[in-house]
Amino acid sequence: MVRDPVADEETPTLTTVLDALDDEDCRSIVSVLAEPMTANEISEASGVPLSTTYRKLELLTDSSLLYEGVEVRSDGQHASRYAIDFEEVVIALDEAREFEVDIAHRARSPDQRLENLWSEIRKET
Amino acid sequence: MASLSTIFLVAAKTLTLACGVVVTTLTHRAYRRTGSTAMRVLSVGIGLVTAGAVLAGSLNQLAGVPLVVSTTVESIFTAAGFLVMTYSLYSDRLAGT
């Protein structure tokens, strides 16, 4: 299942996010994701066994901390790549004194993308 | 008077070509560095607009094609270029950012 990167996503539940953040393997996975990687590459770089990596990746995408996208290759093989999709996670208290989670996502709207693209191009000058 | 406006036209086209090539090259280099599909699509779009401006000018000045025809050719390239640029903003953003 691939997320539409432009579409708005539902906010994940507090428990899902806390589970992901409390998990050492999940944190290892996030720390190696300097660029979009496949599950195999993530497993290799983080030292987390591949079967565990798949489970943790699901938890991380459910928490919307990572996004999953498919790279279409010329040889017809499609590989999912995972990338970091958040800047910060805010746990706050709402009016009823219940915990609520808010995840600040990386730029995803077209105008933000235009800004990102242009800043990447400016780096070439 | 016609020759004066021709000079301006050629100057404008030359400036468009020079700047267009610079921006297209930088965008393409950024794509090579980031591997971002959106960036590659953007460089194609900017390239199309640049190519259209220059192609139309050359068609009119060098090949003697009527102004209406060369302007139409330019407009088609510009439309295609902006279409591609818009697409790059809405297409999937993976393998980049």
**What is d(CA A11, CA A115) in angstroms, rounded to the nearest whole number?**
25
- Residue A73: is its pLDDT beyond 80? no
Work out the burial of residue B20: count CB atoms within 10 Å of its CB; fewer than 13 is exposed, 13-18 middle, 19 or more buried: buried
Q: How many CA atoms are closer than 13 Å to the CA of B27, on its beta-carbon side? A: 25
pTM score: 0.52
Q: How far is A92 from chain B (nearest CA, A)?
A: 29
Write out pLDDT tens, residues B60-91. Answer: 878 888 888 988 999 999 999 999 998 888 77
pLDDT band at A76 (very low <50, low <70, confident <90, very high): low
Q: How far is A124 from chain B (nearest CA, A)?
A: 6
Nearest chain A alpha carbon to B95:
A36
Q: Which residues of chain B make contact with A117, given a CB cutoff of 8 A?
A: 30, 36, 38-39, 42, 88-89
- Residue A77: is its pLDDT beyond 70? no
